[in-house]
Amino acid sequence: MLSAHHLRCSRGDRTLFADLSLSLAPGRWLQVGGLNGAGKTTLLRTLVGLNPPDDGEVRWNGTPIREAGEDFRRACLYLGHHAAVKDELTPFENLRQACAIDGVALDDAQAGDALRRIGLRGRGHLPTRVLSAGQKRRVLLARLLVRPATLWVLDEPFAALDTDAVELMGELIGAHLAQGGLAILTSHQPAPLPAGETVSLAA
């Protein structure tokens, strides 16, 4: 279980949110809403330990994430809004490099299968710079297929995706939840998922 207790985060002199608490159990998902600049990305980065809160704490299975350490890092996969892929590398190389950083061994067959499933058949060995914005996004999202993690934290996972890719992402997240996983996401469009929890941040 992931829980947050009385979080307060600010940007400069402006408080983005305060006294924010939430909890998420296995098989459930949370959608974070709000206008641009409301602090959605800040909240996600706080929940995964990348942005320490001004007040409050985040816990994983009852333990503060700063104490849970490697156990929490292994259990969590965070994908940011901007496609964290390198243009000079191929999708194969981007995917294998990301997994290596996470300490996950990935062979060519596994990488190829993940790229095919995510809709990049025949593009695995092209320079990533020649791909469209949606295809670059798919390169990033392919990590969901090869990086074991209980908690998925996804910032705008449907951004730049076409209708088929949005449907595929909904299926992947739904399957993850059905297996007892947890998911937290931001999205400016309706998520193709069963009803989940919601939290809305004021701008």
Domains of the chain: 2-84+144-201 (3.40.50.300)
Q: Is 104 exposed, middle or buried (0-12, 13-18, 19+ CB in 10 A)?
A: middle
pLDDT tens track of the chain, all 203 residues? 999 999 999 998 999 999 999 999 999 999 998 888 899 999 999 999 999 999 999 999 999 999 999 999 999 999 987 667 899 999 999 999 999 988 888 988 999 999 999 999 999 999 999 999 999 999 999 999 999 999 999 999 988 889 999 999 999 999 999 999 999 999 877 777 877 788 888 76
CA–CA gap between residue 35 and residue 128 (Å, rounded) = 31
The structure's pTM equals 0.92
